[in-house]
């Protein structure tokens, strides 16, 4: 069944209306909740393993508290780097987002702060691995719960749990 889900959700995002959607089956039960395995042990930015594993794999309706991302090492590390940051699936290590793209780091951080979670736009999403369900839930094609698409006057806004994208590259 996992192979079928992967094929179904691996459509290339060329000239397609965004967000790219998929069916509920991508979030079916697998070896470890909705994923095949737990989140990586040593997540970036000092994100908490247990919180990440619960959010990514076991409770799709739970989110890290608003502002959690500001309590980690994330802000200092991103500001120090002052360049486009890669955000990897905390379970698989696949690249899910790159930000900021088409805006400044200051604008990315300001928008994220105003909503309480890292907030990505369409250009910053790696559509090879990210999908949205009909209800707006944002997930990876491997079953990792990421957050939600909450469109606003500027377009699609993906409010993503930092613990879901704190992985290291595969």
**Per-residue pLDDT tens over the stretch 131-145:** 999 999 999 999 999
Identify whether 27 is part of a domain.
yes
pTM for this model (two decimals):
0.90
Tokens of 11: 């459509």
pLDDT tens-place string over residues 39-97: 999 999 999 999 999 999 998 777 899 999 999 999 999 998 889 999 999 999 999 99
Q: Is residue 61 part of a domain?
A: yes
170 assigned to some structural domain: no
Does 105 map to a domain?
yes
Give the count of domains, the chain.
Answer: 1
Short-list 42, 131, 118, 114, CA closest to 87: 118
Residue 38: domain span: 2-9+18-164
């Amino acid at each position: 069944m996992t192979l079928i889900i992967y094929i179904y959700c691996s459509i290339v995002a060329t000239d397609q209306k965004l967000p790219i959607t998929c069916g509920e089956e991508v979030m079916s039960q697998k070896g470890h909740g909705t994923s095949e395995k737990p989140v990586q042990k040593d997540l970036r930015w000092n994100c908490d393993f247990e919180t990440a594993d619960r959010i990514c794999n076991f409770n799709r309706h739970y989110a890290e508290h608003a502002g959690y991302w500001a309590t980690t090492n994330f802000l200092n590390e991103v500001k120090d780097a002052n360049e486009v940051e890669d955000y990897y699936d905390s379970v698989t290590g696949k690249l899910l987002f790159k930000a900021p793209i088409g805006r400044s780091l200051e604008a990315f951080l300001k928008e994220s702060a105003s909503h309480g979670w890292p907030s990505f736009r369409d250009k910053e999403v790696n559509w090879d691995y990210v999908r949205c369900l009909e209800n707006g839930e944002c997930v990876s094609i491997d079953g990792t719960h990421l957050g939600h698409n909450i469109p606003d006057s500027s377009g699609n806004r993906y409010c993503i749990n930092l613990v879901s994208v704190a992985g290291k590259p595969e």
